Amino acid sequence: MAFPHGLRALRHRDFRRFYGAQIVAQVGSWMQLVSQSWLVLQLTGSPLRLGLISTLQFAPVLLFSVVSGAVADRLPKRRVLVATQATLGSQALLLGLLAATGRVEYWHVAALGLVLGFANVTDQPARQSYVVEMVGREDVANAVALNSASFNAARIVGPAVAGVVIGRWGVVPSFFANAAGFVCVIATLLRLRAPGLPSREARVPMLEAIREGLAYAFRTPRVRLALGLVFGVSLCVFNFTVYVPLLARDVLGLGAEGFGFLMAALGVGAVAGALTVGVLGTREPPVAAMFAAAALAFTTLLGLGLTRHVGVATALLFVTGYFGLVLMATCNTAMQLSAPDALRGRVMSLYTWLSSGVFPVGAFIVGAIAEAWGVSIAFVWNGALGLAILAVLALWWRVRGSRA
């Protein structure tokens, strides 16, 4: 089957099927997260409790990602993915049933958030490293670019769709749609030919395997730089499931449909960023472009903290979605291409640790600051903090990283 050069990894049957199924699952997962955020606001009205839910569901990623990366290098990845997708689908179905029957309480959301976190911490390193095994070495760069683009686009497109759904039909449809999406993914995984077998080199003891992955990452300047950038953006930018509902409700005075419109602006920006990364798909993402994307994403947060106009906020959210996606996807690509096959699961577990595990810290900070001083102050704080992190990374790269 013929595909444009920028989509050449889709020539591979397994990758093409896996890619389509993962887009469905990833969008559904983020639809659920945003619907869950709106549900928590309906149940409690508290920004702090909203931030706490995000902390609970992403805390397992923060605590156990490094271990799960070593596990991903030792077990058949397809079997691991079938088990995790089944767990995630069951969690979504149960939350949907509780919400649909009117029996849902805050503690239900918190407990099921922990279940989601433990499933995700096992799923993400296995899924990201499995992608590389479905295509030949010639197309690995494009496969990584497309996969990272879809993963990061979904974390903005999914909330955008959820915002529209919430405005028209409420939170329940997102939960059931997510559960149905996982059924589709499991069926697809069972039809793939690539078993995702562990590397023969991944037979060292667990603690030694973890140390080996950490040592590789921290002695490789390009990987360290990517990790630093992912840390900054995950901490400061990708808390939109907390700050966009608060921006819509408390600053702009919008209801559910206005919230959906703002999330749609993020989604359009993410799609544009995904197309950019997928078409370019270079083997070595330019460092200057990574720094520029991060700077623009952080700067938009300052603007969002100052604006009181829906049109300006919409434009700024589009820019946030675009450059946030470009940065995360290029960092993901840089790390996957730098890692040897036998270490890829462990190296990508560090990406997961920072891209998802740091999120609960940022979510809690945003929720706490918004409750104490307002969401506008939370935006300004995150923008300033992100630019400070970026300045430190730029100085380090100039002094030491560029010598490598």
* Domain map (residue ranges) of the chain: 5-403
Sign of the CA dihedral with 254 first, then 255, 259, and 264 last: negative
Instruction: Tell me the per-residue pLDDT of 29-68, one tens digit each, with 9 for 90 and over.
Output: 888 988 888 898 888 888 778 778 877 777 787 777 777 7
Predicted pLDDT of residue 168: 84
% residues pLDDT > 70 (the chain): 89
CA distance 342 to 334: 16
CA distance 327 to 232: 11
Written as one letter, the residue type at 269 is: G
Task: Please report, for residues 87, 182, 243, the alpha-carbon distance to residue 313 in angstroms, rounded to integers and kept in the order given.
Answer: 37, 34, 12
356-372: average pLDDT: 80
% residues pLDDT > 90 (the chain): 24
Instruction: List Cβ neighbours of 29 (8 Å cut-off, separation of 6 or more).
Output: 88, 154, 158, 178, 181
Give the highest mean pLDDT range of 56-60, 215-219, 343-347.
Answer: 215-219
CA distance 363 to 145: 27
Query: What is the total residue count of the chain?
Result: 404
Range with lowest mean pLDDT among 59-68, 191-200, 208-217, 219-228: 191-200
Instruction: Tell me the per-residue pLDDT of 325-334, one tens digit each, with 9 for 90 and over.
Output: 888 888 887 8
The band of 356, judged by pLDDT with boundaries at 50, 70 and 90, is confident
384-393: average pLDDT: 95
Q: What angle do CA 332, 336, 339 make, to 5 degrees?
A: 140
Take residue 242 and report the two structure tokens written for it.
Answer: 């907390």
Place of tokens 């499933």: 119
| Mean predicted lDDT score pLDDT of the chain | 82
Q: Comparing 256 with 106, which gets the higher pLDDT?
A: 106
Stated pTM of the model? 0.74
Task: Please report, for residues 133, 207, 237, the alpha-carbon distance to residue 384 in angstroms, rounded to integers and kept in the order given.
Answer: 40, 38, 11
Predicted pLDDT of residue 271: 77
Range with lowest mean pLDDT among 28-42, 118-132, 138-152, 208-222: 138-152
* Residue 157 confidence (pLDDT) above 80: no
Predicted pLDDT of residue 281: 59
Architecture label for domain 5-403: Up-down Bundle (1.20)
* Residue among 107, 96, 99, 73 nearest 198 (CA): 73
Q: Where are the alpha helices (DSSP H) in 221-282?
A: 221-236, 240-246, 256-280
The three-state secondary structure class of 4 is: coil
Take residue 182 and report the two structure tokens written for it.
Answer: 């996982």
CA distance 116 to 37: 14
Instruction: Tell me the per-residue pLDDT of 235-271, one tens digit each, with 9 for 90 and over.
Output: 888 887 778 888 888 888 887 778 778 887 887 887 7
* Residue 310 confidence (pLDDT) above 70: yes
CB atoms within 10 A of CB 255: 11
CB atoms within 10 A of CB 197: 11
The band of 284, judged by pLDDT with boundaries at 50, 70 and 90, is low
Predicted pLDDT of residue 61: 75
Crossing angle between the packed helical segments 310-338 and 256-280, to the nearest 10 degrees: 40
402 burial (CB, 10 Å; 0-12 / 13-18 / 19+) is exposed
| Distance, first Cα to last Cα, the chain | 40
